[in-house]
Amino acid sequence: MTAPLRQGERTDSTVVSVALGERAYDIVIGRGLLASLGARIKALRPGARVALVSDESVARRHLAAAETALSSAGIAASPIVVPDGELSKSYATFETVCEAIIAARIERGDLVIAFGGGVVGDLAGFAAASVRRGLDYVQVPTTLLAQVDSSVGGKTGINSRHGKNLVGAFHQPVMVIADTALLDTLPQRQFRAGYAEVAKYGLLGDAAFFAWLEKSWRDVFAGGPAREHAIALCCRAKASIVSRDERENGERALLNLGHTFGHALEAACGFSERLLHGEAVALGMVLAFEFSARKGLIATADAERARTHLAAAGLPTYLADIPGGAPGLDDVMDLIAQDKKVKRGKLTFILVRGIGQAFVANDVDASQVRAFLADKLAKQ
């Protein structure tokens, strides 16, 4: 069963509901929604003040418009701007954001707004989960990756020197506002990286959607109805899974297709511009399909089909595509061993039995993974 889609109060918006009982919330998707931010916040939480967390790039392009939308509704906002990039998901920046929220006298009846991509959403959400033992927050995602994935579902956190997203909390937003017009200013590399998460939804559980993407991905990149259709479908798929398995005790783990390999590669590259998160996920999905083929779970043609599509969209699909070359085998294996899905030292991977047929593989033999990666590295 999938999450419901309905028309928003405006004819040009779509609303996807995340059914979590008393903590249920809506994802509103449409073009030009930023102008309605103040009105939506006022209706959601009358009289609330807000801490508006953003990064330098988003602040430069869109912060003034967000502040105008809030002030026009009589909402006092305290902007908090952090540096761009994955390195802001750190203890130091987390402390800075928490202290700024406290200094702004944001109370439990007020709101934090995460106004940015996945880094800002994870960071601001974790700060909201922590300050005063829990503040409500609203996600206003500004990247494709955040709109289709990281803004939905309540996973918040920062990185550790031991790996990606190892410190954090499950803390659901009270609303997600996905203004697709904000993607118009997104650098092409960032958009491509976000597209990896779009393709993920087809590869893990919707073969028909993946086939549609193979034909229509250029239209998604160009914008318009195809882009909004893809975003809404991804949100609907994630909302359905989250409503059934909020804390990733089962089915939700499927959303990590490509992430075990990908997170390790991203961490080994120093969480830097060398390899963006979505690029690492693209590489990770190719490796997951190829590892599945190696284990005899799928035909080699399925793995090649996944790789061909991601490569056509401009994403890295070979370890040799990583600028500066692939990280060392020992480093990657050490990071895989720190993955959040590891249980009592046993490796867990999301593998596939075909396009759209992902499953959770527990107790994967580490020696098989090591031999597989060694072979891939030798061939780069």
Q: Is 159 a catalytic residue?
A: no
- Exactly one of 228, 256, 305, 376 is catalytic; name it: 256
- Exactly one of 40, 200, 238, 376 is catalytic; name it: 238
Using CA atoms, how far residue 362 sits from 250, 297, 356, in Å, is 11, 15, 19
Give CA–CA dist 340/253, Å, rounded. 10
- Exactly one of 86, 165, 192, 197 is catalytic; name it: 197
Give CA–CA dist 318/239, Å, rounded. 31
- Exactly one of 200, 227, 263, 309 is catalytic; name it: 263
Q: Yes or no: say if 374 and 329 are a contact pair by the CB < 8 Å rule.
A: yes
Q: Is 133 a catalytic residue?
A: yes
> What SS3 string covers 279-322?
HHHHHHHHHHHHHHHHCCCCCHHHHHHHHHHHHHCCCCCCHHHC
- Exactly one of 31, 277, 305, 309 is catalytic; name it: 277
Q: How many CB atoms lie within 10 A of CB 42?
A: 16
Q: Is 259 a catalytic residue?
A: yes
- Exactly one of 62, 155, 200, 376 is catalytic; name it: 155
- Exactly one of 45, 89, 171, 252 is catalytic; name it: 252
Q: Is 62 a catalytic residue?
A: no
Residues 6+ apart with CB under 8 A from 227: 180, 183, 219, 220, 221
Q: Yes or no: say if 213 and 234 are a contact pair by the CB < 8 Å rule.
A: no
Q: Is 379 a catalytic residue?
A: no
Q: Is 164 a catalytic residue?
A: no
Residue type, 345: G
For the CA atoms of 352, 357, 360, 361, the dihedral, rounded to the nearest 10 degrees, stands at -30
Q: Is 362 a catalytic residue?
A: no
- Exactly one of 86, 228, 246, 248 is catalytic; name it: 248
Which residue bears the tokens 């692939």?
A: 326
Give CA–CA dist 327/314, Å, rounded. 21
- Exactly one of 40, 227, 236, 259 is catalytic; name it: 259
Give CA–CA dist 181/8, Å, rounded. 17
Q: Is 277 a catalytic residue?
A: yes
DSSP string, 320-355: GGSTT-PPPHHHHHHHHTT-TT-BTTBEEEEEESST
Residues with catalytic roles:
133, 155, 197, 238, 248, 252, 256, 259, 263, 277
